[in-house]
Structure 1
């Protein structure tokens, strides 16, 4: 009888032993190439359901925040005027995020957050790490039916899963709500036999058999 077993890396990293950093940004607009900048960063590090750390800071965008953004987020020019710039924040953020080999980057509508982070990295001559990325909006579209939720916006999912923190367009609270959504979604896919990071990535990247959603449904 052959008792050989594959190394754990070959079998896949168990989700219960995976370190996730869940991040949310507040910004002064919709896209960095249109002149928008980061105004707040919130991030939460978790592993196996345990909170490992939190990161929160305002960021001085060095340009006025539009009125409609202040109305949405509550973040004013006065609140960020004495805050560090993204150039000052970035090395501290990278240290919190950790190694691309150990950390899985999580965000709701991850392409939005990553576009700002990669733009900031490029502008300040940092190499953005090649993190494995899990997008909770994309995963939710894969898992949940329209009979369960009308859309995959963070607020809708937070209400559906009864998260401890309600998202309110502030970075740390939204990151904390996303943590609860992530854990709830992992619980749902666990019933399908998905228990490793590799299985979760493959599942999330498959075209949804539950329904097709407009990307705007998850903003």
Structure 2
């Protein structure tokens, strides 16, 4: 945990789902992730996923992901092992998400349902970091779109997993610049922040 932030590999992940909670039967329809270290993009991961049930119209309206788009897509039991391989081990990677409890609840439920062991990754939530680092004078809220506009991200969030992950990478880097004023320079310091 004493690794410098510049030497830490971050897996910035975003999901699109059929609803708000895996406990209510909602499932993942898309995983997007960007692997970054030292400010450089190392790799990207993206997959549509057949959720095994119809996607509600409301969700299609938000994400643009339709039943037709996922009809011939792999199921989560095919995608989860590839995603976990992309992430690597908790000793080498840290997961990052905007509103991390939402994404992590779906990923952990998907791992359990597919009989994959969920690694105990350190987790960073950019929404939480933004609440701690930015004032209401700087941003009126901590939505990804608001933070993306504030930081002038190259990719605009659009409720598609890979684009939202790319925008979150830029937000994360902006937040890291602010962390320097709090003398947070290592992974351990960030986790305790």
Shift of 1:126: 1.1
- Structure index of larger Rg: 1
- 1:104 maps to 94
- Give the Cα–Cα distance (whole angstroms) in 1 for the partners of residues 112 and 41 of structure 2: 30
Q: How does 1:22-101 map to 2 (within 5 A)?
A: 22-101=12-91
Distance 1:167 1:39 in 2: 17
2:162 is paired with a residue whose SS is helix
Regions of 4+ moved over 3 Å: none
Q: Distance in 1 between matches of 2:160 and 2:175?
A: 22
Give the alignment partner of residue 110 of structure 2, picking from 120, 123, 132.
120
Q: Is there any run of 5+ residues in structure 2 with no aligned partner, and where? A: none
Structure 1 unpaired stretches of 5+? 1-8, 204-219
Secondary structure of 2:182's counterpart equals: coil
CA distance in 2, matches of 1:88, 1:200: 33
1:133 pairs with 2:99 = no
**Could you state the TM-score of these two structures normalised by the residue count of structure 2?**
0.99
Q: For 1:138 and 1:201, locate their aligned partners in 2 and report how far apart those are by CA, in whole Å.
A: 11
Question: What are the equivalent positions in structure 2 for 1:105-184 lying under 5 Å apart?
Answer: 105-184=95-174
Between the aligned partners of 1:81 and 1:174, the Cα distance in structure 2 is 23
> What are the Cα deviations for residues 63-90 of structure 1, in whole angstroms up to 9, with x where unaligned?
0000000000000000000000000101
Return the structure number with greater relative CO, CA threshold 8 A, min gap 6: 2
